[in-house]
Protein backbone atom coordinates (compact mmCIF):
# COMPACT_ATOMS: atom_id res chain seq x y z
CA UNK A 1 0.00 0.00 0.00
CA UNK A 2 1.45 3.29 -1.08
CA UNK A 3 1.52 5.76 1.77
CA UNK A 4 0.45 9.13 0.51
CA UNK A 5 0.66 12.40 2.37
CA UNK A 6 -2.49 13.97 1.10
CA UNK A 7 -2.74 17.62 1.91
CA UNK A 8 -6.15 18.52 0.67
CA UNK A 9 -8.16 17.12 -2.17
CA UNK A 10 -10.18 20.07 -3.35
CA UNK A 11 -10.27 21.70 0.04
CA UNK A 12 -11.00 18.45 1.88
CA UNK A 13 -7.85 17.97 3.92
CA UNK A 14 -7.11 14.28 4.38
CA UNK A 15 -4.09 14.03 6.60
CA UNK A 16 -3.15 10.41 6.88
CA UNK A 17 -1.45 9.74 10.20
CA UNK A 18 -2.17 6.04 10.01
CA UNK A 19 -4.88 6.45 12.59
CA UNK A 20 -8.08 4.64 11.73
CA UNK A 21 -10.88 6.15 13.81
CA UNK A 22 -13.38 3.57 12.61
CA UNK A 23 -11.23 0.62 13.68
CA UNK A 24 -10.84 2.35 17.04
CA UNK A 25 -14.61 2.77 17.23
CA UNK A 26 -15.09 -0.94 16.49
CA UNK A 27 -12.69 -1.87 19.26
CA UNK A 28 -14.18 0.65 21.70
CA UNK A 29 -17.71 -0.64 21.13
CA UNK A 30 -16.51 -4.21 21.60
CA UNK A 31 -14.64 -3.45 24.80
CA UNK A 32 -17.80 -1.84 26.16
CA UNK A 33 -19.79 -4.95 25.25
CA UNK A 34 -17.15 -7.19 26.86
CA UNK A 35 -17.52 -5.12 30.03
CA UNK A 36 -21.30 -5.66 29.89
CA UNK A 37 -20.72 -9.40 29.50
CA UNK A 38 -18.59 -9.62 32.62
CA UNK A 39 -21.00 -7.42 34.56
CA UNK A 40 -23.91 -9.70 33.63
CA UNK A 41 -21.94 -12.87 34.33
CA UNK A 42 -20.83 -11.68 37.76
CA UNK A 43 -24.34 -10.46 38.50
CA UNK A 44 -26.00 -13.77 37.63
CA UNK A 45 -23.33 -15.96 39.24
CA UNK A 46 -23.32 -13.94 42.45
CA UNK A 47 -27.11 -13.94 42.68
CA UNK A 48 -27.30 -17.69 42.16
CA UNK A 49 -24.34 -18.52 44.36
CA UNK A 50 -24.37 -16.02 47.20
CA UNK A 51 -28.10 -16.15 47.88
CA UNK A 52 -27.83 -19.90 48.25
CA UNK A 53 -31.37 -20.67 47.21
CA UNK A 54 -32.38 -24.26 46.65
CA UNK A 55 -31.82 -24.99 42.91
CA UNK A 56 -35.35 -26.37 42.59
CA UNK A 57 -36.71 -22.88 43.35
CA UNK A 58 -35.60 -21.75 39.89
CA UNK A 59 -37.95 -24.14 38.10
CA UNK A 60 -40.43 -22.50 35.76
CA UNK A 61 -43.71 -24.40 35.53
CA UNK A 62 -45.28 -22.34 32.83
CA UNK A 63 -45.46 -23.73 29.30
CA UNK A 64 -45.55 -20.28 27.68
CA UNK A 65 -42.63 -18.93 29.69
CA UNK A 66 -40.46 -21.97 28.92
CA UNK A 67 -41.31 -22.09 25.17
CA UNK A 68 -41.50 -18.42 24.22
CA UNK A 69 -37.80 -17.68 24.86
CA UNK A 70 -36.89 -20.35 22.25
CA UNK A 71 -39.12 -18.70 19.63
CA UNK A 72 -37.83 -15.30 20.63
CA UNK A 73 -34.22 -16.44 20.22
CA UNK A 74 -35.07 -17.98 16.85
CA UNK A 75 -36.46 -14.63 15.75
CA UNK A 76 -33.33 -12.96 17.15
CA UNK A 77 -31.13 -15.26 15.02
CA UNK A 78 -33.27 -14.46 11.94
CA UNK A 79 -32.78 -10.75 12.75
CA UNK A 80 -29.02 -11.32 12.92
CA UNK A 81 -29.02 -13.11 9.57
CA UNK A 82 -31.00 -10.22 8.06
CA UNK A 83 -28.42 -7.62 9.13
CA UNK A 84 -25.66 -9.88 7.74
CA UNK A 85 -27.52 -10.02 4.39
CA UNK A 86 -27.89 -6.24 4.53
CA UNK A 87 -24.11 -6.04 5.17
CA UNK A 88 -23.44 -8.04 1.99
CA UNK A 89 -25.47 -5.50 -0.03
CA UNK A 90 -23.78 -2.69 1.91
CA UNK A 91 -20.32 -3.90 0.87
CA UNK A 92 -21.41 -3.95 -2.79
CA UNK A 93 -23.03 -0.49 -2.63
CA UNK A 94 -26.40 -1.91 -3.67
CA UNK A 95 -28.40 0.62 -1.70
CA UNK A 96 -31.89 -0.31 -2.86
CA UNK A 97 -31.52 -3.95 -1.84
CA UNK A 98 -29.77 -2.76 1.34
CA UNK A 99 -32.73 -0.57 2.28
CA UNK A 100 -35.23 -3.36 1.56
CA UNK A 101 -33.40 -5.88 3.77
CA UNK A 102 -32.91 -3.24 6.45
CA UNK A 103 -36.67 -2.57 6.45
CA UNK A 104 -37.31 -6.30 7.00
CA UNK A 105 -34.62 -6.37 9.70
CA UNK A 106 -36.14 -3.48 11.63
CA UNK A 107 -39.51 -5.30 11.68
CA UNK A 108 -37.83 -8.45 12.95
CA UNK A 109 -35.84 -6.58 15.61
CA UNK A 110 -38.90 -4.68 16.82
CA UNK A 111 -40.90 -7.93 17.05
CA UNK A 112 -38.07 -9.51 19.07
CA UNK A 113 -37.92 -6.49 21.36
CA UNK A 114 -41.69 -6.56 21.93
CA UNK A 115 -41.69 -10.29 22.82
CA UNK A 116 -38.72 -9.69 25.09
CA UNK A 117 -40.55 -6.83 26.77
CA UNK A 118 -43.58 -9.03 27.47
CA UNK A 119 -41.34 -11.83 28.77
CA UNK A 120 -39.60 -9.34 31.03
CA UNK A 121 -42.92 -8.38 32.62
CA UNK A 122 -43.98 -12.03 33.03
CA UNK A 123 -40.67 -12.97 34.66
CA UNK A 124 -40.99 -10.04 37.07
CA UNK A 125 -44.28 -11.40 38.40
CA UNK A 126 -43.45 -15.11 38.54
CA UNK A 127 -41.56 -15.76 41.76
CA UNK A 128 -38.87 -14.17 43.87
CA UNK A 129 -36.14 -16.45 42.48
CA UNK A 130 -37.17 -15.94 38.85
CA UNK A 131 -37.40 -12.22 39.52
CA UNK A 132 -33.79 -12.23 40.73
CA UNK A 133 -32.27 -14.07 37.75
CA UNK A 134 -34.55 -14.20 34.69
CA UNK A 135 -35.97 -10.73 35.11
CA UNK A 136 -32.69 -8.75 35.08
CA UNK A 137 -31.17 -10.84 32.26
CA UNK A 138 -34.32 -10.45 30.16
CA UNK A 139 -34.11 -6.73 30.93
CA UNK A 140 -30.55 -6.63 29.55
CA UNK A 141 -31.58 -8.60 26.45
CA UNK A 142 -34.58 -6.32 25.95
CA UNK A 143 -32.33 -3.26 26.31
CA UNK A 144 -29.89 -4.64 23.74
CA UNK A 145 -32.62 -5.54 21.21
CA UNK A 146 -34.24 -2.14 21.70
CA UNK A 147 -30.92 -0.35 21.15
CA UNK A 148 -30.33 -2.56 18.08
CA UNK A 149 -33.70 -1.53 16.61
CA UNK A 150 -32.86 2.14 17.21
CA UNK A 151 -29.42 1.66 15.58
CA UNK A 152 -31.07 0.07 12.51
CA UNK A 153 -33.45 3.02 12.27
CA UNK A 154 -30.48 5.41 12.41
CA UNK A 155 -28.64 3.35 9.76
CA UNK A 156 -31.73 3.48 7.50
CA UNK A 157 -31.97 7.23 8.02
CA UNK A 158 -28.28 7.72 7.13
CA UNK A 159 -28.72 5.44 4.09
CA UNK A 160 -31.39 7.79 2.76
CA UNK A 161 -28.79 10.58 2.39
CA UNK A 162 -27.34 11.14 -1.11
CA UNK A 163 -23.85 11.26 0.44
CA UNK A 164 -23.17 7.77 1.79
CA UNK A 165 -20.20 8.79 3.97
CA UNK A 166 -22.31 8.71 7.17
CA UNK A 167 -23.85 5.28 6.63
CA UNK A 168 -20.43 3.96 5.53
CA UNK A 169 -18.97 5.10 8.84
CA UNK A 170 -21.94 4.08 10.99
CA UNK A 171 -23.07 0.69 9.70
CA UNK A 172 -19.90 -1.40 10.37
CA UNK A 173 -19.62 -0.09 13.95
CA UNK A 174 -23.32 -0.71 14.67
CA UNK A 175 -22.83 -4.24 13.32
CA UNK A 176 -20.81 -5.04 16.46
CA UNK A 177 -23.85 -4.30 18.63
CA UNK A 178 -26.24 -6.34 16.46
CA UNK A 179 -24.04 -9.42 16.36
CA UNK A 180 -23.32 -9.10 20.08
CA UNK A 181 -27.04 -8.90 20.86
CA UNK A 182 -27.68 -12.13 18.92
CA UNK A 183 -24.83 -13.89 20.74
CA UNK A 184 -25.97 -12.59 24.11
CA UNK A 185 -29.51 -13.83 23.45
CA UNK A 186 -28.22 -17.30 22.53
CA UNK A 187 -26.01 -17.48 25.63
CA UNK A 188 -28.87 -16.40 27.92
CA UNK A 189 -31.13 -19.04 26.35
CA UNK A 190 -28.46 -21.72 26.85
CA UNK A 191 -27.86 -20.64 30.44
CA UNK A 192 -31.44 -20.25 31.58
CA UNK A 193 -33.60 -22.55 29.44
CA UNK A 194 -31.43 -25.28 27.87
CA UNK A 195 -29.51 -25.61 31.10
CA UNK A 196 -31.86 -24.58 33.88
CA UNK A 197 -30.79 -22.03 36.46
CA UNK A 198 -31.13 -24.88 38.95
CA UNK A 199 -28.52 -26.91 37.05
CA UNK A 200 -26.36 -23.82 36.92
CA UNK A 201 -26.74 -23.41 40.68
CA UNK A 202 -25.77 -27.05 41.15
CA UNK A 203 -22.78 -26.39 38.89
CA UNK A 204 -21.87 -23.51 41.20
CA UNK A 205 -21.72 -26.05 44.03
CA UNK A 206 -25.19 -25.64 45.54
CA UNK A 207 -27.14 -28.81 46.19
CA UNK A 208 -30.79 -29.49 46.74
CA UNK B 1 -15.02 -31.15 33.95
CA UNK B 2 -16.05 -27.77 35.33
CA UNK B 3 -12.63 -26.34 34.48
CA UNK B 4 -12.79 -27.73 30.93
CA UNK B 5 -16.26 -26.23 30.41
CA UNK B 6 -15.03 -22.88 31.73
CA UNK B 7 -11.91 -22.96 29.51
CA UNK B 8 -13.97 -23.90 26.44
CA UNK B 9 -16.47 -21.12 27.16
CA UNK B 10 -13.71 -18.56 27.61
CA UNK B 11 -11.99 -19.72 24.42
CA UNK B 12 -15.25 -19.52 22.44
CA UNK B 13 -15.94 -16.06 23.83
CA UNK B 14 -12.51 -14.70 22.87
CA UNK B 15 -12.64 -16.42 19.46
CA UNK B 16 -16.06 -14.96 18.63
CA UNK B 17 -14.98 -11.54 19.92
CA UNK B 18 -11.95 -11.54 17.60
CA UNK B 19 -13.92 -12.93 14.63
CA UNK B 20 -16.65 -10.29 14.87
CA UNK B 21 -14.06 -7.55 15.31
CA UNK B 22 -12.27 -8.83 12.21
CA UNK B 23 -15.51 -8.92 10.26
CA UNK B 24 -16.59 -5.39 11.21
CA UNK B 25 -13.08 -4.08 10.50
CA UNK B 26 -13.30 -5.73 7.08
CA UNK B 27 -16.71 -4.13 6.61
CA UNK B 28 -15.16 -0.75 7.47
CA UNK B 29 -12.16 -1.22 5.20
CA UNK B 30 -14.16 -2.36 2.19
CA UNK B 31 -15.47 1.21 1.86
CA UNK B 32 -12.14 2.98 2.36
CA UNK B 33 -11.08 5.00 -0.64
CA UNK B 34 -14.36 4.37 -2.42
CA UNK B 35 -16.81 7.24 -2.55
CA UNK B 36 -15.45 8.67 0.65
CA UNK B 37 -13.50 11.50 -0.95
CA UNK B 38 -15.62 12.62 -3.88
CA UNK B 39 -13.16 15.37 -4.76
CA UNK B 40 -10.17 13.00 -4.90
CA UNK B 41 -8.43 12.64 -8.28
CA UNK B 42 -9.26 9.43 -10.12
CA UNK B 43 -5.57 8.71 -10.72
CA UNK B 44 -3.78 8.84 -7.40
CA UNK B 45 -0.47 10.68 -7.56
CA UNK B 46 2.29 9.44 -5.29
CA UNK B 47 4.17 12.30 -3.70
CA UNK B 48 7.44 10.80 -4.83
CA UNK B 49 6.28 10.24 -8.39
CA UNK B 50 7.50 12.43 -11.25
CA UNK B 51 3.92 13.74 -11.51
CA UNK B 52 3.20 11.80 -14.65
CA UNK B 53 0.07 10.33 -13.18
CA UNK B 54 1.52 6.84 -13.01
CA UNK B 55 0.96 5.13 -9.73
CA UNK B 56 4.39 3.89 -8.70
Residues of chain A numbered 89-118 and touching chain B (CB < 8 Å): 90-91, 93
Q: What sign has the CA pseudo-torsion B47, B50, B53, B56?
A: negative
Provide the pLDDT confidence category of residue A8 given band limits of 50, 70 and 90.
very low
Q: Which chain B residue lies closest to A184 (C-alpha atoms)?
A: B13
pLDDT tens-digit series, residues A196-208: 777 777 777 766 5
pLDDT tens-digit series, residues A88-114: 999 999 999 999 999 999 999 999 999
CB-CB contact of A76 with A88 (8 Å):
no
* Residue A12 bridge partners (DSSP): A9
CB pairs under 8 A between A and B: 67
Find chain A residues with C-beta within 8 A of B53's C-beta: none
Answer whether B37 sits within 8 Å of A9, measured CB to CB: yes
Tell me which residue of A188, A61, A195, A187 sits closest to A120, measured CA to CA: A188
Whole-number Cα distances in Å, A206 to A57, A131, A166: 12, 19, 52
ipTM: 0.71
Q: Which residues make Cβ contacts (< 8 Å) with residue A60, sequence separation at least 6?
A: A66, A126, A130, A134
pLDDT tens-digit series, residues A30-73: 889 888 888 888 888 888 777 777 777 777 888 888 889 999 99
Provide the pLDDT confidence category of residue A9 given band limits of 50, 70 and 90.
very low
Residues of chain A numbered 169-208 and touching chain B (CB < 8 Å): 171-173, 175-176, 179-180, 183, 203
Whether the model pTM is above 0.90: no
A15-24, A31-40, A123-132, B18-27: least confident range: A15-24
* Beta strand ranges found along A13-117 (DSSP E): none
Find chain A residues with C-beta within 8 A of B38's C-beta: 163
Answer whether A26 sits within 8 Å of B21, measured CB to CB: yes
Answer whether A172 sits within 8 Å of B16, measured CB to CB: no
Q: Which chain A residue lies closest to B3 (C-alpha atoms)?
A: A203
pLDDT tens-digit series, residues A108-155: 999 999 999 999 999 888 888 888 888 888 999 999 999 999 999 999
Residue A92 to chain B, least CA–CA distance (Å): 9
Distance CA(B22)–CA(A23), nearest Å, equals: 10
CB-CB contact of A176 with A144 (8 Å):
no
Amino acid sequence: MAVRMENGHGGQAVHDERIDPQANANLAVWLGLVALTFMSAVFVASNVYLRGWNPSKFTLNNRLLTDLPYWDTLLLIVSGVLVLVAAAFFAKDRWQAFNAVLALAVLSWVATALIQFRLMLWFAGYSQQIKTIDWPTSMIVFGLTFISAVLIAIAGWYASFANKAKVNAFFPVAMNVWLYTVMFGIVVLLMERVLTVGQFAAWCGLHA
Amino acid sequence: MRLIAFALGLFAFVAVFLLVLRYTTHLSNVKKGRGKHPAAPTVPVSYDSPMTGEDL
